[in-house]
Structure 1
Amino acid sequence: MTQAPLPQVGRTATFTVRAPASSANLGPGFDSLGLSLPLYTTLRVTPQASTEVVPLGHGLSSTPANESNYVYQAMLLAARRAGRPLPPARIEIESEVPLARGLGSSAAALIAGIVAGNELLGRPLDHAAVLDVAAREEGHPDNVAPALFGGIVVATLDKLGTHYVRLDPPAHLGVTVLVPDFELSTSKARAVLPREYSRADAVHALSHAALLAAALSVGRLDLLRHAMQDYIHQVWRAPLVPGLSDILESAHEHGALGAALSGAGPTVLCFHDTRSDTGRLHTYLHGVMTRSGLTGQVMDLPIDLAGTVVACPVEA
């Protein structure tokens, strides 16, 4: 998380908070592994005598323009953890993160709101506390940790706290995402998961999650295809995402280093080597959408390294 110094005058000046999208799980790292992507939710916060919540842009047109807005509720979470009332402000909200697509739109809003509330209060919460508040609200840290810190993050949540390790991405590791033009709620995607797993599936998940974290930490791009195999959630969610099984099985034949469902979906993530052309992979992914009767977009993205950024806009 990057912060620029704010004026020490009681937070009377406008400031901005920018939080990135994220992709969670990456295959076997269920609820514990994620990375940050450069699509942003941005808040412009101006302290004033009364509270206003102003969602901007077509993508947020269905979100509440009042204190029930998720961003404002996230700001209140910071105030509750700090044990202080939240000062009133005008909060303008913009977002590039598509809703209900498995790209961490709720996590970006949550982190942006908690950080904004913390700023209004004079930063009583440190980074560890901000992460813990967010992870406990979400129920897992896989999206909120990379949204806060950037890069690739392995994180756990237990009764003692939220614990994480942030990794810089390996050299030459890029991301290609297929974002279909339909929404899939996290609750629906979680509802299809079994309540119990076999010992064999548990061992498979543990070993592959460990291998994936190790491969990412030392830059073994050749291992990603094998390490990203998963039996915990992707096999159960595949019927909800047409074409997913095809991509998981065959994307490596078209230039992908590995493939996974992004979060709860329906977005699908492929890793690629930035030294190689991704045209063949794009053609393949568009073909999968066409055969599945879907529309959407395919994008190459770097991994965001900055995480959440706080700054004071410079007025012209």
Structure 2
Amino acid sequence: MPASTSNLGPGFDCLGLALELYNEVSVEPTTETLASPFMAAAAQSFFAASGAMPFPFRVEVRGDVPSARGLGSSVTVRLGVLMALNRLCGETLDQQRLFELSARLEGHPDNAAAACFGGFTVVQKRQGRLGQVLRYGVDPALKVVLCVPDFEIQTAEARKVLPSTYRREEVVDNLAGTATVVAAFVSRNYRSLRGAFADRLHQPYRQALIPFLPEVIAAGVEAGALGGFLSGSGSTIACLTLAREQEVAEAMLAATPGRAAFTRTVGVDNAGAKLSDG
């Protein structure tokens, strides 16, 4: 199950990017369910949607995706449970339906789409209803440098700091930025991402939770990155680059107070979530 980064600056709740950073989720039938409440909720969602007879199961999660850091860790687990149960029950649901279930459990579709389908994803959502998912492959030359602070941020906490209304000019600025990001990924003209990640809808408010956000992004850009943004709701900060990955990572870490973070450079996962019977 691949990790993911979402929003990509201006594309709040609709843009996602799957990462070559993974969790492995194992599910096997047992005599008694051994799973956390949110894993059990994923199972309940699957059984209700598929009509399959519920059965007790055991879940084991291993991997490298840090939790509560804006990298879609909860999606890897929820989607993993859904896909594994679907396999055990004869694959009655298709990938689109599994995505819809995981997005509903998450409360937002961006990470779920990226993890499910891989690559760069755009999710259509109107009046609370999910629409189509557009998915585009990403050139292996594009790398994502992650700066992961040593503290967690829960998504619910990060959403509480957002305002309930926005000014028109703020929304228009984000629409322009989102269009530029999408065009860059569709055309694979990644150099046009420079300056496109500016956001006015969520990052300025979430900066209260991550005060050093602009300094870390600026350091990465100065070292050679195309641009940077808060990954999901944080606390991870991401920069995209076509070169000088090590220099970008070192600069981002140096801009973190007390260097209380770690960095990791990964590629984009173009395959999406995979099943294995091993």
Match of 2:104 among 128, 136, 143: 136
Q: Deviations over 1:186-229 (max 9, x none)?
A: 11111111110000011111111111011111112221122111
Number of aligned residues:
277
Counterpart check, 1:81 vs 2:81 = no
* Residue of structure 1 equivalent to 2:250: 283
- TM-score normalised by L of structure 1: 0.83
Q: Deviations over 1:240-283 (max 9, x none)?
A: 1132111334532211111000000010000010xx23232122
* SS of residue paired to 1:311: coil
For residues 76 and 113 of structure 1, the distance between their equivalents in structure 2, rounded to whole angstroms, comes to 10
How has the CA–CA distance of structure 1 residues 294 and 188 changed in structure 2, closer, same or farther, with 3 Å as cutoff? Answer: farther
Counterpart check, 1:39 vs 2:21 = yes
Q: CA deviation at 1:300?
A: 0.9
| Counterpart residue type for residue 264 of structure 2 | M
Q: CA deviation at 1:46?
A: 2.6
Alignment of 1:165-184 (within 5 A): 165-184=134-153
For residues 141 and 21 of structure 2, the distance between their equivalents in structure 1, rounded to whole angstroms, comes to 20
For residues 250 and 47 of structure 1, the distance between their equivalents in structure 2, rounded to whole angstroms, comes to 49
* Residue of structure 1 equivalent to 2:68: 100
How has the CA–CA distance of structure 1 residues 130 and 162 changed in structure 2, closer, same or farther, with 3 Å as cutoff? Answer: farther
* Residue of structure 2 equivalent to 1:293: 258
For residues 187 and 168 of structure 1, the distance between their equivalents in structure 2, rounded to whole angstroms, comes to 31
For residues 108 and 157 of structure 2, the distance between their equivalents in structure 1, rounded to whole angstroms, comes to 17
Alignment of 1:151-166 (within 5 A): 151-158=119-126, 161-166=130-135
Alignment of 1:246-257 (within 5 A): 246-257=215-226
Counterpart check, 1:148 vs 2:116 = yes
How has the CA–CA distance of structure 1 residues 93 and 247 changed in structure 2, closer, same or farther, with 3 Å as cutoff? Answer: closer
* Residue of structure 2 equivalent to 1:308: 273
| Counterpart residue type for residue 130 of structure 1 | L
- TM-score normalised by L of structure 2: 0.94
Q: Structure 1: any 5+ residue segments left out of the alignment?
A: 1-18, 54-65
* Residue of structure 2 equivalent to 1:9: none
* SS of residue paired to 2:125: strand
Counterpart check, 1:109 vs 2:90 = no
* Residue of structure 1 equivalent to 2:172: 203
For residues 29 and 46 of structure 1, the distance between their equivalents in structure 2, rounded to whole angstroms, comes to 37
* SS of residue paired to 2:83: helix
Match of 2:158 among 189, 196, 217: 189
Counterpart check, 1:244 vs 2:213 = yes
| Counterpart residue type for residue 41 of structure 2 | Q
Query: Is residue 5–residue 71 contact of structure 2 (8 Å, CA) maintained in 1?
Result: yes
* SS of residue paired to 2:251: helix
Coordinate RMSD, CA, aligned:
1.7
Query: Is residue 131–residue 162 contact of structure 1 (8 Å, CA) maintained in 2?
Result: no
For residues 72 and 41 of structure 1, the distance between their equivalents in structure 2, rounded to whole angstroms, comes to 18
Query: Is residue 170–residue 216 contact of structure 1 (8 Å, CA) maintained in 2?
Result: no
For residues 301 and 75 of structure 1, the distance between their equivalents in structure 2, rounded to whole angstroms, comes to 31
For residues 73 and 268 of structure 1, the distance between their equivalents in structure 2, rounded to whole angstroms, comes to 30
* Residue of structure 2 equivalent to 1:51: 32
Considering only CA atoms, is the larger Rg found in Structure 1 or Structure 2? 1
For residues 172 and 231 of structure 2, the distance between their equivalents in structure 1, rounded to whole angstroms, comes to 22
